[in-house]
Chain A
Amino acid sequence: MSGFAIQLDNVEFSWPSGTRVLEVRQFSVEPRERVFLHGPSGSGKSTLLGIVGGILKPQVGQVRVLDASLTSLTAAQRDRFRGEQIGFIFQMFNLIPYLTVTENVLLPLGFSNGRAQRLESADASAEAARLLQALGLSDPGIAKRRVTDLSVGQQQRVAAARALIGRPPIVIADEPTSSLDADMRTDFLRLLMNECATHGTTLLFVSHDMALAGMFDRTVRIRDINPALPHPPEHS
């Protein structure tokens, strides 16, 4: 056991085209730590999150998440691991448009037994309702709404509830507040942090907006851990 929630050692990642986009000597996150990862777009953020999430496999180096060595797992094992241990929140368009709010929140449970088993109450939709309420969506009618009828701010709260359901030990958020206005941003972040703190969830939060950094335990500049690339060509 390394004792870290996330630990990267001498990781190098290149796209199949050969362009190297990421080179991380050392990066680690403690359990329960809430880390703000700062970097402009195109700095290799998404690649880093893809590696931590087990979607991308670095060509060189070691990646440990919780007690698993992602670099020695197969793709299918990494997928299973991600489903069980990590909740994701993206910048926007987080939700499946044809499912209701509750169905969206419950989505991870269908793919991961571990998360389904970690539910406190036997009733999954009650837990979904609790999370939605904790994240500021207290209107009971909202559960049955179509997600396309929600405002962007509401959609991000639903996405956060989905990331948190079934208590994954790690939540990774990729610019979840960029599409929100300033008031909503802090409001959203405060509720997310509360929920993470209550359950001891490790939070890796990526943003280009330094104004939010103060709310976190620690701030890491991606430039500092990824020295390789001045302007790496990223896909997005």
Chain B
Amino acid sequence: MAPTLKLALRSLLNRRTTAVLTVSAIAISVALLLGVQLLRTAARESFANTVSGVDLIVGARSGPLNLLLYSVFRVGDATSNVSWASYQKIAHHPDVAWTIPISLGDSHRGFRVMGTDAAYFEHYRFAGSRALGFSAGGPFVDLYDAVLGADVAKTLGYRVGDSIIIAHGIGNVSFAQHKDKPFRVAGILAFTGTPVDRTVHVGLQAITAIHIDWQTGMQAPEHFRVSAEQARSRDLTPDTITAFLVGMRSRVMTFTMQRAINEYRQEPLLAVLPGVALSQLWELVGVADSALAVVAAFVVLAGLLGMLTAILTSLNERRREMAILRSVGARPGHIFLLMVLEAGILAAAGVLAGTALTYLILFASQPFLERQFGIFVQIRALGSWELVILAAIIAAALLMGLLPAFRAYRNTLNDGLQMRV
């Protein structure tokens, strides 16, 4: 084995251009496969980490995915609202520990504005049990205070104390603006890697205040308007909110409460378990990422076929080499082993280089991925599943090596010691 291994290495070294190209092709395909594998795990984790510690998400009756999308991911719109009375009733239920109201519908330069209250900063959790933290300032104190997500502040260059105007509606460019009631940036949240980063938070009363003189999407004529200062003295309790998050005193009560809310008679409501809804949503999104993994697997196959082609092509010009080896005592088994080893060496080198390439790219792109897409790719050692995949690639290469091995073996038997030039 040892002299054959040495011969295989030297022979490959002699054909180093082809060998390097073959190894590169395998390395790139392996890097793609590993990259997809690591990214999909990271994406799934980051997805599941979006919201945690919440037992129920409650909104007007629609679909669970729709509710999850607008309440947590700030995607899409609620078809209808939850009345304040119902919200109060549930919020004061003895089994409910806390609730976080969510009121959506406005935006600021493409970022969604969410009305909520102090409970949000206290109880909202993401990535397991991480609480929201402030990188500057603090929660809202005044009626017209806003708290910005990290991306909002960074993209728009805001600092604590800056004044911002909220636009009516959620279009990227909105002509109807709440110009008469500007907000002051009271705080900027630390980066979370969740949709929180792209949200402008204001108080629930502030949402009522900026809409106090609006009717069906239009502001009242000039002399009926209510100024920012006048609004302060009004009753700013909202009539409705968009949705709310519920934390139970005891997890055990969650299902009972969910059923109670879903069967609530006064108003059609829907309560979903965030974990269930998240995994439903992931099943949907996950199709794309499984497709990506399948594509990556085929790229690896293409890389290995490239290797097979390179080895098979080299066989004819190496018949003389094989005959020399046989004349010095190499048995057909040695020739066979030589070819299989060659495939194994190429694949192993490709797998090693591909793994190195993957980590190189991950290290280089980690900050970018987190900043740009909110995906935190944790750089970790290869898991057992990845190791199984890599071993399978090498095994597949060895298996493919059997083809040129059989050919070379047959050639040596046919050629004998004749020197074919």
Q: CA A236 – CA B420 in complex, angstroms?
A: 7
Determine if A195 is an interface residue (Cβ-Cβ < 8 Å). Answer: no
On chain B, the residues within 8 Å of A56 by CB distance are: 416
Instruction: State whether A110 and B3 are in contact (beta carbons under 8 Å apart), knowing that A88-B328, A96-B324, A98-B11 are contacts in the complex.
Output: yes
Q: For residue B421, which residue of chain A has the nearest CB? A: A93
Q: Which of A82, A103, A111 has the most CB of B within 10 A?
A: A111
Instruction: State whether A76 and B333 are in contact (beta carbons under 8 Å apart), knowing that A94-B324, A96-B321 are contacts in the complex.
Output: yes
Determine if B44 is an interface residue (Cβ-Cβ < 8 Å). Answer: no
A83→B10 contact, CB < 8 A: no
**Chain A-chain B contacts (Cβ-Cβ < 8 Å), number:** 82
A39 CB, nearest partner CB in chain B, Å: 16
Q: CA A84 – CA B332 in complex, angstroms?
A: 16
Determine if A157 is an interface residue (Cβ-Cβ < 8 Å). Answer: no
A173 CB, nearest partner CB in chain B, Å: 11
Instruction: State whether A80 and B331 are in contact (beta carbons under 8 Å apart), knowing that A55-B416, A93-B320, A96-B321 are contacts in the complex.
Output: yes
On chain A, the residues within 8 Å of B328 by CB distance are: 83, 88, 107-108, 111, 162
A206 CB, nearest partner CB in chain B, Å: 12
Interface mask (A46-60 → B, CB under 8 Å = 1, otherwise 0): 100110010110000
Q: For residue B10, which residue of chain A has the nearest CB? A: A98
B324→A76 contact, CB < 8 A: no
B414 CB, nearest partner CB in chain A, Å: 9
Instruction: State whether A108 and B419 are in contact (beta carbons under 8 Å apart), knowing that A97-B14, A98-B10, A99-B10 are contacts in the complex.
Output: no
Determine if A216 is an interface residue (Cβ-Cβ < 8 Å). Answer: no
A104 CB, nearest partner CB in chain B, Å: 9
Q: Which of B326, B327, B416, B417 has the most CB of A within 10 A?
A: B327
B419→A90 contact, CB < 8 A: yes
On chain A, the residues within 8 Å of B420 by CB distance are: 236
Instruction: State whether A95 and B324 are in contact (beta carbons under 8 Å apart), knowing that A82-B329, A83-B330 are contacts in the complex.
Output: yes
Determine if A7 is an interface residue (Cβ-Cβ < 8 Å). Answer: no
On chain A, the residues within 8 Å of B333 by CB distance are: 76
Choice from B2, B6, B326, B419 contacting A92 with Cβ under 8 Å: B419
Interface mask (B384-421 → A, CB under 8 Å = 1, otherwise 0): 00000000000000000000000000000000111111
Determine if B325 is an interface residue (Cβ-Cβ < 8 Å). Answer: yes
Q: Is the interface of B mostly helix, strand, loop or mixed?
A: helix
Sort chain A's interface into a size bin.
35 or more
Q: CA A82 – CA B419 in complex, angstroms?
A: 17
A236→B329 contact, CB < 8 A: no
Q: For residue B415, which residue of chain A has the nearest CB? A: A235
On chain B, the residues within 8 Å of A103 by CB distance are: 10
Q: CA A50 – CA B415 in complex, angstroms?
A: 10
Determine if B13 is an interface residue (Cβ-Cβ < 8 Å). Answer: yes
Q: CA A49 – CA B418 in complex, angstroms?
A: 10
Determine if A91 is an interface residue (Cβ-Cβ < 8 Å). Answer: yes
Interface mask (B317-356 → A, CB under 8 Å = 1, otherwise 0): 0001100111111111110000000000000000000000
B418→A112 contact, CB < 8 A: no
CB-CB contacts below 8 Å: A1-47 with B: 46
On chain A, the residues within 8 Å of B6 by CB distance are: 110
Q: For residue B334, which residue of chain A has the nearest CB? A: A111
Instruction: State whether A88 and B419 are in contact (beta carbons under 8 Å apart), knowing that A98-B11, A98-B14 are contacts in the complex.
Output: no
CB-CB contacts below 8 Å: B1-38 with A: 2-4, 6-7, 10-11, 13-14
B330→A111 contact, CB < 8 A: yes
B20 CB, nearest partner CB in chain A, Å: 15
B331→A55 contact, CB < 8 A: no
A149 CB, nearest partner CB in chain B, Å: 14
On chain A, the residues within 8 Å of B329 by CB distance are: 79-80, 82-84, 108, 111-112, 115
On chain A, the residues within 8 Å of B3 by CB distance are: 110-111
On chain B, the residues within 8 Å of A75 by CB distance are: 332
Q: For residue B413, which residue of chain A has the nearest CB? A: A75
Q: CA A31 – CA B288 in complex, angstroms?
A: 77
CB-CB contacts below 8 Å: B134-192 with A: none
Choice from B325, B326, B334, B419 contacting A93 with Cβ under 8 Å: B419
Instruction: State whether A98 and B421 are in contact (beta carbons under 8 Å apart), knowing that A75-B332, A88-B328, A110-B3 are contacts in the complex.
Output: no
Interface mask (A188-229 → B, CB under 8 Å = 1, otherwise 0): 000000000000000000000000000000000000000000
On chain B, the residues within 8 Å of A92 by CB distance are: 419, 421
A79→B324 contact, CB < 8 A: no
A88→B417 contact, CB < 8 A: yes
On chain A, the residues within 8 Å of B321 by CB distance are: 96-97
B330→A235 contact, CB < 8 A: no
Q: CA A84 – CA B328 in complex, angstroms?
A: 9
On chain B, the residues within 8 Å of A98 by CB distance are: 10-11, 13-14
Q: CA A94 – CA B421 in complex, angstroms?
A: 11
Q: CA A108 – CA B13 in complex, angstroms?
A: 21
B11→A79 contact, CB < 8 A: no
On chain A, the residues within 8 Å of B325 by CB distance are: 96, 107, 111
Choice from A46, A82, A95 contacting B418 with Cβ under 8 Å: A46
Known: A56-B416, A80-B331. 10 other contacts (CB 8 A): A50-B417, A76-B331, A83-B330, A88-B327, A92-B419, A93-B320, A96-B321, A162-B328, A236-B418, A236-B420
28 interchain pairs, CB-CB under 8 A: A46-B418, A49-B417, A50-B417, A76-B331, A79-B332, A80-B329, A80-B331, A88-B417, A90-B417, A92-B419, A92-B421, A93-B324, A93-B421, A94-B324, A95-B324, A96-B321, A96-B325, A98-B13, A99-B10, A108-B329, A110-B4, A110-B7, A111-B3, A111-B331, A111-B334, A112-B329, A115-B329, A236-B419
Closest 9 CB pairs between A and B?
A83-B329, A110-B3, A98-B14, A111-B329, A79-B331, A88-B327, A108-B328, A55-B416, A112-B329
Instruction: Please report B residues at the A interface, Cβ cutoff 8 Å.
Output: 2-4, 6-7, 10-11, 13-14, 320-321, 324-334, 416-421
